[in-house]
Chains A and B, each alone.
Chain A
Amino acid sequence: MAESEFKTKFRAKVTVMFRKSILDPQGAAVERALKSHTAGDISFPEISSVRVGKVIELTIDGIDAGADAGSVEEKIKILADRILANPVMEEYTVAVEPL
């Protein structure tokens, strides 16, 4: 059947990070911890930068047959712009895969 040729279920992963120009005090604190010996007997002083962000995973199910990852990505980007990220301080990437 033609219908089965189309994926109607997707998983989208939105990664939100502070813009490079924004100081990330949480990342800086983690960096200091990683460089010191506070993580037990392991240290990695060569780490030169740490930034902390967040990942938002969305599952999309039951949309029109014929939707492709590209059109889903366009919609998610609009949502990311409006609510998942604040463009004043954050940037984001969207990755969509069919399930």
Chain B
Amino acid sequence: MGKNMRAAVVVFPDSNGDRDAKRALGTLGIGARFVWHKESSIEDVDLIVLPGGFSFGDYLRTGAIARYSPVMREVVRQAGRGTRILGICNGFQILTEAGLLPGVLLRNRDLLFLGRDVWLRVENNATPFTNAYAKGQVIRLPIAHGDGNYFIDDEGYKRLEGEGRIVLRYCLPDGMAPNGVAPNGAKGDIAGIVGEKGNVLGLMPHPERMTEPILGGCDGRGIFDSLIADLLSGAAGC
């Protein structure tokens, strides 16, 4: 199904979701290879995954040091030419530090590391990452982070909202999203956003950890199914 899709999973020192991502891609038939953060080019890929973890021990700030790894120059270049970039958890933090996505991930409001399943509402399904879901669909994915409190100034927030770039919001199991429902304090209860061109997604929850029944559910498969469908539709390159 996804056998024609080629993906790279970047590995930073202290990445820990790299294998999860590669396995998830593999179960969907997507050929994925690891790329060490010191490499400076990533050839022939449709998708680059920046995985979860604690790159460089989260020293200084989450993602702050990884953002200057040699591979990030290539990630920025690929993002510019339309390659799909998926930043999960620490990958999302790295994308904001690198300036590929606006805003920043602050320490969780209650200072606690949160490791549990959350409910999310698909706010925009017209993206390469979410077309396999219905708009407003409620899905369940795990989170595992200490710094997932998304922050952006009011002007930036309005812009994200206006441009439909808020892709996932934390919500209740019934899909209601009363203000402040995010477990980490995220502004506007934002769990995931896309960049200006729509080909870069950053999200705090882990879709790759919800792709097989043995993991507790398959709600995360939609992200990867969407990417495959998007590629098949020939929309790649925006």
B76 lies within 8 A of chain A by Cβ: no
Looking at A23, A84, A88, which has the most chain B CB atoms within 10 Å of its CB? A88
Residue of A nearest to B65 (CB): A83
Interface residue from B61, B111, B153 paired with A26 (Cβ < 8 Å): B111
A89 lies within 8 A of chain B by Cβ: yes
Contacts of A23 in B (CB 8 A): 106, 109, 185
Give per-residue flags for A84-99: 1 if the beta carbon is below 8 A from chain B beta carbons, else 0. 1010110000000000
* Assembled-state Cα–Cα distance A22/B150 (Å): 11
Cβ-defined contact, A25 with B110, below 8 A: yes
Number of A-B contacts (CB under 8 A): 31
Contacts of A22 in B (CB 8 A): 106, 151
Give per-residue flags for B83-126: 1 if the beta carbon is below 8 A from chain A beta carbons, else 0. 00000000000001100000110111111000000000000000
A65 lies within 8 A of chain B by Cβ: no
Q: Is the interface of B mostly helix, strand, loop or mixed?
A: loop
Residue of A nearest to B99 (CB): A88
* Assembled-state Cα–Cα distance A21/B61 (Å): 18
Cβ-defined contact, B68 with A88, below 8 A: no
Size band of the interface chain B makes with A: 10 to 19
Q: Is the interface of A mostly helix, strand, loop or mixed?
A: loop
A residues 17-57 touching B (CB-CB < 8 Å): 21-23, 25-26, 29
Cβ-defined contact, B104 with A25, below 8 A: no
7 closest A-B pairs (Cβ-Cβ)? A88-B104, A89-B104, A25-B111, A25-B109, A86-B61, A86-B104, A83-B64
Q: Knowing that A86-B97, A88-B151 are A-B contacts, what are 4 other residue pairs whose CB atoms are under 8 Å apart, sorted by A's residue number?
A: A23-B185, A25-B111, A83-B60, A86-B61
